[in-house]
Chains A and B, each alone.
Chain A
Amino acid sequence: AQTVTQSQPEMSVQEAETVTLSCTYDTSENNYYLFWYKQPPSRQMILVIRQEAYKQQNATENRFSVNFQKAAKSFSLKISDSQLGDTAMYFCAFMKPSGNTPLVFGKGTRLSVIA
């Protein structure tokens, strides 16, 4: 079974600064997908960024980028130029490559952006 571990329950960052959220996972699969989801106080789950394991290039979406280290089974999220609206819970998630399989989530990291 796959597991996802987020070792930082809470983090804070000053507005406009950069912060990195950590995630490790365990799987015997060679191909899979990894995700970061954002859950603001409204509790809506919002997809932030996605990484395919077969791609060596790290995914980027505007101010969000990942550092994907397949051998180390590590998948960290970097948020640049942090904004107050980035305050949220961030969940790392894993999905097998079968196309419509369940997401396996980590416990989340609560990020606070401070003005």
Chain B
Amino acid sequence: EPEVTQTPSHQVTQMGQEVILRCVPISNHLYFYWYRQILGQKVEFLVSFYNNEISEKSEIFDDQFSVERPDGSNFTLKIRSTKLEDSAMYFCASSWSSGSGVYNEQFFGPGTRLTVL
């Protein structure tokens, strides 16, 4: 069964460093998402991506964040200068694209735990 994969499973970095979190969405999916879950809190939407551009983003997704689909398979989240408060679990998700109003399930990856020291 196809699944979303994420690497690394755990990333430890120093404050101020850049990190890149990687995701491989399900191969025929066209919509990609990043969500964040700070420990003990709810899952929060960061950004969605479609047709090589950002479709929607939340207030959390400020200038220190960027997303990219560098090739036909990977979808990355870059944090330019990490802060302590960026420590969280980051989930990638992907979904098929069809007509507006048609439900498309978002399939989640296993997450990357980011620890900023």
Q: Which residues of A contact B (CB under 8 A)?
A: 31, 33, 42-47, 50, 52, 91, 93, 95, 97-108
The distance from the CB of A76 to the nearest CB of chain B, in whole angstroms, is: 18
Tell me whether A100 and B44 are in contact in the complex, defined as CB-CB below 8 angstroms, given that A43-B111, A44-B108 are known contacts: no
C-alpha spacing A97/B103, complex, angstroms: 7
Query: What interface size band does chain B fall in?
Result: 20 to 34
B103 and A99 contact, CB distance less than 8 A: yes
Q: Which residues of A contact B37 (CB under 8 A)?
A: 43
Asked if B103 and A107 sit within 8 Å, CB to CB, the answer is: no
- Does A45 contact B108, Cβ atoms closer than 8 Å? yes
Cα separation A61 to B35 with both chains bound (whole Å): 26
Q: B104 is contacted by which of A31, A100, A108 (Cβ under 8 Å)?
A: A100
Bound CA span A91–B58, Å: 20
CB distance from B43 to the nearest CB of A (A): 4
Is B101 in contact with A98, judged by CB distance below 8 angstroms?
yes
Residues B105 and A101 in contact, CB atoms below 8 Å apart: no
| Most chain B beta-carbon contacts within 10 A, residue among A44, A98, A100, A101 | A100
Q: Which residue of B lies closest to A52 (CB)?
A: B103
Are A100's CB and B91's CB within 8 A?
A: no
Complex CA gap A97/B104 in Å reads 10
27 A-B pairs with CB atoms under 8 Å apart are A31-B101, A43-B89, A43-B111, A44-B108, A45-B43, A45-B91, A45-B93, A45-B111, A47-B105, A50-B105, A91-B42, A95-B103, A99-B100, A99-B101, A99-B102, A100-B95, A101-B56, A102-B33, A102-B45, A103-B35, A103-B45, A103-B106, A104-B45, A105-B42, A105-B43, A105-B44, A106-B42
Chain A residues within 8 Å of B43, by CB: 45, 91, 93, 103, 105
CB-defined contacts of B100 to chain A, threshold 8 Å: 98-99
Q: Are B56 and A97 in contact (CB under 8 A)?
A: no
Docked Cα-Cα span, A98 to B99, in Å, equals 8
